[in-house]
A and B are shown apart, each in its own frame.
Chain A
Amino acid sequence: MPELTDGCVKPAQGPIVPLAQQTAGAAHTEPQEVHTMVARVGKEAIDFEANAFISGVGFRTVKLSDYKGKWIVLCFYPGDFTFV
């Protein structure tokens, strides 16, 4: 597998807020707008894009909606090299 080139800093979109949730004319997601949307059961998942490490693959950008149509388990955890 060819080694992927990857810079020190690679932007990823983070939360992807539907257009209706964005203020008119705002080019980027405003943090305050972001906080008005919170995940709830029974509601559509909030899409996002993030940088990722995938074992055996390398560094990739992953979008939650890439997995639409499948069952997804999304696990947050406090940090690498922690104890539990």
Chain B
Amino acid sequence: MAAVAARYPALKALDVEVLAMSTDSRFVHKMWQEQELSKMVEGGVPFPMLSDAGGRIGAMYGVYDEAAGVDIRGRFIIDPDFIIRAMEVLTPEVGRNPDELIRQIKAYQHVRATGEVTPSGWQPGQPTLKPGPALVGKVWEVWKP
């Protein structure tokens, strides 16, 4: 969570709203912010920290672990039409890679703005693909892994 908070300026620059959610209460969120997160990242976590008491929301997003009673690490990119574009779910012991999150948001924003599609590992400025009959069998001419 602190890693995502540290990249918040980059996310904000992309006009992204971040919402964090765990099964902890809002009171514990406040304590964690004040006692620890604010010491890890300047200003702490600047986005809302939501409480999924009982895990009912996590269950609908496929991230609630009934045995442990917690929401495991899952992140979802939702576009302005309220459509889920991407999800990544990890078991708790491995943290996320915010750089990959930001790369995916940039790619989805580019796709939405242009109608082009982005090949594997695409970064802004790199060639995109324009899907259509003319491209069939010709991808190799414009893109190689």
Contacts and interface: CB of A to CB of B under 8 A. Distances in A.
Interface of A: 12, 14-15, 31, 34-35, 37-46, 48, 50-55, 59-60, 62, 64-65, 67-82, 84
Contact of B92 (A34, A39, A84): A84
B84 A60 contact: no
- What size tier do the contact residues of chain B reach? 35 or more
Contact of A78 (B30, B33, B51, B72): B72
B48 A48 contact: no
A78 B24 CA distance: 9
B49 A45 contact: no
B112 to A, nearest CB: 9
B63 interface: yes
B109 to A, nearest CB: 7
B26 A59 contact: yes
Majority SS of interface residues in chain B? Answer: mixed
B25 A82 contact: no
Contact of B22 (A65, A72, A80): A80
B85 to A, nearest CB: 6
Contact of B78 (A48, A52, A62, A71): A71
Contacts of B43: 55
B64 to A, nearest CB: 8
A40 B124 CA distance: 26
Interface stretch (B11-19, B113-121, B136-144): B11-19
B28 interface: yes
Given A31-B56, A75-B19, A75-B20, A62 B84 contact: no
A73 B20 CA distance: 8
A51 B26 contact: yes
B82 A80 contact: no
Given A42-B83, A45-B83, A78 B92 contact: yes
**Max count, chain A CB within 10 A of own CB: residue among B19, B33, B50:** B50
5 contacts: A38-B60, A39-B60, A41-B87, A75-B19, A78-B73
Nearest to A67: B17
Nearest to B91: A78
Interface in B86-110: 86-87, 92-96, 101, 105, 108-109
